[in-house]
């Protein structure tokens, strides 16, 4: 598996990332298997969020690391903070809202460290743009966490280009990514300036739901993937290869609880789509040719 820096001053990540957002749906033994299969396939980067699995997924993952501490040296950990919702695990929260205060960012990062059973987070993201976000507070929290060595790099998720650039202006170190929804069916970031601004800053995006929530993997979509046999590839692999072709160097985040899907996805790194095949897939999804 290719490994690449997500930013010139950022971490070295596997080009395809394993997402742990649904791993509360399987046993801890299966989680360990998914981790090991990912590492064996060269997918060394794992994506989390404090809220995944009703605030349980980080701890489940951490339990595996506590039993197998040497695994931590072979991986990079990404997590997110800033979303709060009503939960028995968070009884003080009565309404879903965002919290990007200095105090909450620091508390959340330190709690993620404890849950994940690690002494460092490789990348911490603000999960959603907060309409009450105070960039001075975020910058202060990021700076403290970085100085203490608790978080090595920082980024955002689901930010617009202007929101990304605004926050960057308040930091003395770079935001190294913006994790956004990008797929064949959610290709707006290729045209609305989101990826343009990231390339301007030398930032590679992370793509959540890179398979369009699985919509393209079911039903009658053979017309989109008519060249799959030419590449000896599955529909899944073709969808990932389509993202990997983009010059912004997209890092797709695969969300699955099946080890065979991880192994299958990893092989997409070897597919280099012809430019015309790339545009043909886009045409089939849009239902029209380029203007």
In 11-148, where does DSSP find H-type helix?
28-40, 52-55, 57-67, 102-116, 135-147
pLDDT at 221: 73
Phi, psi of 177 (to 5 degrees): -165, 165
Strand bridging mode 123-126 / 76-81? parallel
Whether 52 is a known active-site residue: answer yes
Give the other-Cβ count within 10 Å of 36's Cβ: 15
- The pTM of this model reads 0.96
Digit-coded pLDDT (tens) for 88-128: 989 999 999 999 999 999 999 999 999 999 999 999 999 99
Give the C-alpha separation, 61 to 31, whole Å. 7
pLDDT at 219: 61
Of 52, 98, 170, 231, which one is the catalytic site residue? 52
pLDDT at 215: 73
Give the C-alpha separation, 50 to 84, whole Å. 9
Domains annotated on the chain, with CATH: 3-286 (3.20.20.100)
pLDDT confidence of 161, banded at 50, 70, 90?
A: very high
Phi, psi of 15 (to 5 degrees): -65, -30
Q: What share of the chain is helix, strand, coil (3-state, %, to 5)?
A: 40, 20, 40
């Amino acid at each position: 598996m290719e490994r690449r820096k997500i930013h010139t001053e950022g971490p070295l990540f596997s080009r395809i990332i394993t997402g742990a957002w649904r791993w509360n749906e399987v046993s801890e033994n299966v989680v360990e298997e998914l981790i090991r299969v990912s590492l064996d396939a060269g997918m060394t980067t794992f994506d989390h969020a404090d809220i995944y699995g009703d605030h349980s997924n980080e701890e489940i993952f951490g339990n595996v690391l506590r039993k197998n501490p040497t695994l931590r040296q072979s991986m990079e950990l990404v997590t997110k903070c800033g979303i709060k919702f009503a939960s028995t695990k968070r009884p003080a929260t009565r309404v879903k809202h965002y919290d990007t205060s200095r105090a909450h960012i620091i508390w959340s990062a330190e709690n993620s460290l404890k849950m994940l059973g690690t002494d460092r987070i490789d990348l911490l993201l603000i999960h959603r743009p907060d309409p009450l976000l105070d960039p001075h507070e975020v910058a202060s929290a990021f700076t403290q966490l970085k100085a203490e060595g608790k978080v090595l790099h920082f980024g955002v998720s689901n930010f617009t280009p202007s929101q990304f650039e605004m926050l960057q202006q308040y930091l003395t170190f770079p935001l190294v990514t913006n994790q956004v929804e990008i797929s064949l069916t959610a290709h707006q970031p290729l045209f609305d300036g989101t990826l343009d601004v990231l390339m301007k800053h030398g930032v590679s995006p992370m793509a959540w739901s890179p398979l369009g929530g699985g919509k393209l993997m079911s039903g009658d979509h053979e017309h989109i993937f008519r060249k799959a046999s030419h590449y000896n590839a599955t529909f899944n692999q073709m969808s990932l290869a389509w993202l990997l072709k983009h010059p912004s160097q997209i890092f797709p985040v695969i969300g699955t609880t099946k080890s065979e899907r991880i192994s299958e996805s990893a092989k997409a790194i070897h597919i280099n789509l012809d430019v015309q095949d790339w545009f043909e897939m886009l045409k089939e999804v849009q239902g029209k040719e380029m203007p």
